[in-house]
Amino acid sequence: MGTFIKGVHGGFSGRIGNVIGAAWRGVDYMRSLPRKSNKPATEAQLKQRLIIRLVMGFLRPISGLIRIGYQSYKSGKTPLNAATVALIDKGVTGVYPNLNIDFPHVMFSKGHLLKPMVTGMESVATAKIKFDWLNNTPLYGTSTAATDRATLLVYNPVKEEFVTAEDVAVRTGLTFTLTVPANWIGDDVHGWMSFVSTSRREVSDSVYAGVTAVL
């Protein structure tokens, strides 16, 4: 059932017959219901649907990081939608139907702070992953600061699980060792890193740190 919201000359919300009424940012609009098609989906359509499912399934578990990392996106998309579009554009590899996430192209954060200069990611002890980076704090001229806090992300594609760590070290800290689940031992894992300002209103691009086998 549709509901009139501004009288007979205004907009309405909901469905009336074959028309749907809604509003977006104060603008009323109407659209027709899509017509059902009996045509089978083309391979291109099936590929696109698979890509969307693959990307959304990968990103949903880290939507909290993305909410911070894509907070300044201004195109009208939600942070998760913006991250999804970015990953669909550059982050899927393989030949349909054997498609996979291209891990070096994953970005859970996009911003104006200087991005981390990661020098290494390795397993250094039982279920421990060590990240190392350089202090690239400028002397002046940008909002990048020595007090920016590191966010770390590790993904295990075998277990399809993430470990995240927010605000774990400052930009000048240069290193942090992250604990991962013991049942990850023997699996290859991928890592990423970004920085967030102390106000949490500014972020850097996230960067791919590499892959390592968990000891």
In the chain, what are the domain boundaries? 3-32, 43-213
In 60-211, alpha helices (H): 63-69, 79-90
**Model pTM score:** 0.82
CB 91 within 8 Å of CB 102:
yes
Give the span between the Cα atoms of 73 and 112, in whole angstroms: 11
DSSP state of 177: E
Superfamily of domain 43-213: Immunoglobulins (2.60.40.10)
* Short-list 55, 54, 5, 47, CA closest to 30: 5
pLDDT 10s digit of each residue in the chain, 215 long?
A: 444 444 444 555 566 556 666 655 555 556 666 666 678 889 999 999 999 999 999 999 999 999 999 998 766 789 999 999 999 999 999 999 999 999 999 999 999 999 999 999 999 999 999 999 999 999 887 899 999 999 999 999 999 999 999 999 999 999 999 999 999 999 999 999 999 999 999 999 999 999 999 99
Please, how many CA atoms are within 13 Å of residue 91, restricted to the half-sphere of its CB? 20
Residue 48 phi, psi (nearest 5):
-65, -40
